[in-house]
């Protein structure tokens, strides 16, 4: 199947509100983002006027209680407009009721000697108004806003809460987007799916956040995501951010994945004793399946064969359909019927003359070691049958009565180890 490509629309913030203290001085000028309305205020703002200080300017107004903003034009430049709306002035006796504002460039940030006014300058904006200018590309500009200066009958500069919106071809951005290419959209169960995300018009991108059915499942620094845990109908999407300044979040449309409905179940794990048989209880949606390993299986092409393992064995049921292969496993454990006598009497009376371990003969590769109470090894054997059982001697010499200690390694699939003590009685 051909890979599926899904495109995405860019998502913009609509309106935010920022505390005045964050932009009371030029060095903390608030970044204006294209086509985003922000709510701001100059209530409580002050001015910094001294020779060479940030408020040492004289446009069509002088500083009173300034607040500061900045923005950067795009690589094309052109017409830019800043709209002032929803002006709400602080009421009070002898307080101004108008805003003053202008845009300017500054070759040296916040150095009034380098300020160059651009566009119009407003000295008495009491109702919604705009600033406009045609600006150079890839350049940072500043906006300074102040309250109306005291005049006859006014003792306090205007304080106002208002909305700002920056727009125009000089700051507009190309529509950013992200799309996903998948290795396929119809897969087999547990098949590894590879998804690749591609960005368009997205500088300064961040990490890729991958979602399945709207739930975050992975964060990657590169554009590739792989998973083998998808179910039929799962929807895969990806999210990223663009632009270091005024970031925007972009999200892809969802890719719906179809998973072929092949099922297989090898049944529940079971435990048997040596020499016993047990019936496996497999199931599958496919008519084509096989058990492995085949040794000891009564019919590898039956869902319910009988098995007689001599040791713990893992049986796999593999089903195939529509080019898909799926496997499940069942463990048949062979219980250890071992019995370790804690005493024996090697007195040559024909009864209990050797240390006989019940059931050990099944483990032909077992390793048996016996020690005296001082830790000296007195017996060892690989395999432990009737001809190899310990008779209470060491190098052919009878050992004294007392307590001895054993370590037995079965060397089976579970790597079982047993240890304990034996009392030798004469």
pLDDT at 9: 34
Q: Which residues contact 362 (CB under 8 A, 6 or more apart)?
A: 274, 310, 311
The 10s digit of each residue's pLDDT in 173-232 is 999 999 999 999 999 999 999 999 999 999 999 999 999 999 999 999 999 999 999 999
Question: pLDDT-derived band of residue 305, with 50, 70 and 90 as boundaries?
Answer: very high
Count other Cβ atoms within 10 Å, centred on residue 315.
23
Query: Domains in the chain, start-ordered, CATH in brackets?
Result: 12-167 (2.60.120.380), 177-259 (2.60.40.10), 264-334 (2.60.40.10), 343-424 (2.60.40)
pLDDT at 381: 96
Rounded distance between C-alpha atoms, residue 225 and residue 257, angstroms: 14
Is the pLDDT at 325 greater than 80? The verdict is yes
The 10s digit of each residue's pLDDT in 28-83 is 999 999 999 999 999 989 988 888 999 999 999 999 999 999 999 999 999 999 99
Rounded distance between C-alpha atoms, residue 208 and residue 355, angstroms: 67
Average pLDDT, the chain: 91
Q: Averaged over 288-292, what is the pLDDT? A: 97
Is the pLDDT at 246 greater than 70? The verdict is yes
Percent of the chain at pLDDT > 90 equals 79
Taking CA atoms, 390 is separated from 354, 373, 412, 418, in Å, by 6, 17, 22, 16
Count other Cβ atoms within 10 Å, centred on residue 87.
18
User: Two tokens at 229?
Assistant: 């845990």
The 10s digit of each residue's pLDDT in 396-426 is 999 999 999 999 999 887 788 999 999 999 8
In sequence order, the β-bridge partners of residue 194 are: 226
């Amino acid at each position: 199947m051909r890979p599926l490509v899904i495109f995405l629309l860019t998502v913009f913030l609509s309106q935010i509100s920022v505390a005045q203290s964050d932009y009371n001085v030029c060095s903390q000028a608030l970044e204006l983002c294209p086509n985003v309305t922000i709510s701001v205020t100059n209530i409580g703002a002050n001015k910094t006027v001294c020779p060479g200080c940030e408020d040492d300017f004289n446009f069509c107004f002088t500083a009173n209680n300034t607040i500061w903003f900045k923005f950067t034009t795009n690589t094309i430049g052109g017409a830019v407009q800043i709209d002032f709306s929803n002006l709400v002035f602080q009421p009070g006796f002898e307080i101004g009721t108008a805003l003053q504002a202008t845009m300017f460039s500054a070759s040296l940030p916040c150095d009034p000697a380098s300020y160059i006014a651009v566009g119009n300058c407003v000295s008495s904006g009491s109702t919604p108004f705009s600033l406009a200018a045609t600006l150079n590309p890839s350049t940072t500009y500043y906006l300074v806003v102040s309250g109306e200066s005291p005049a006859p009958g006014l003792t306090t500069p205007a304080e106002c809460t208002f909305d700002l919106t920056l727009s125009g071809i000089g700051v507009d951005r190309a529509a950013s987007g992200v799309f996903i290419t998948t290795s396929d959209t119809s897969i087999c169960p547990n098949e590894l799916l590879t998804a690749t995300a591609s960005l368009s018009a997205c500088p300064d991108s961040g990490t890729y956040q991958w979602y399945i059915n709207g739930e975050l499942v992975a964060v990657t620094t590169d554009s590739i995501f792989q998973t083998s845990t998808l179910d039929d109908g799962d929807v895969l999407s990806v999210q990223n951010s663009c632009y270091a300044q005024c970031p925007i979040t972009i999200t892809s449309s969802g890719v719906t994945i179809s998973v072929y409905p092949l099922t297989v179940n090898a049944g529940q794990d079971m435990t048997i004793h040596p020499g016993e048989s047990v019936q496996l209880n497999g199931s599958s949606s496919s008519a084509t399946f096989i058990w492995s390993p085949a040794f000891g299986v009564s019919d590898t092409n039956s869902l319910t064969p009988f098995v007689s393992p001599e040791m713990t064995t893992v049986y796999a049921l593999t089903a195939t359909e529509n080019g898909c292969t799926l496997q499940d496993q069942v463990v048949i454990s062979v219980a250890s019927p071992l019995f370790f006598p804690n005493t024996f009497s090697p007195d040559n009376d024909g009864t209990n003359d050797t240390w006989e371990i019940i059931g050990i003969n099944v483990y032909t590769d077992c390793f048996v070691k016996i020690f005296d109470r001082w830790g000296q090894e007195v017996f060892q054997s690989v395999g432990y049958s009737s001809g190899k059982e310990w008779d209470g001697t060491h190098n052919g010499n009878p050992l004294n009565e007392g307590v001895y200690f054993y370590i037995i390694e079965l060397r089976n699939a579970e790597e079982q180890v047993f240890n304990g003590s034996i009392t030798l009685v004469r």
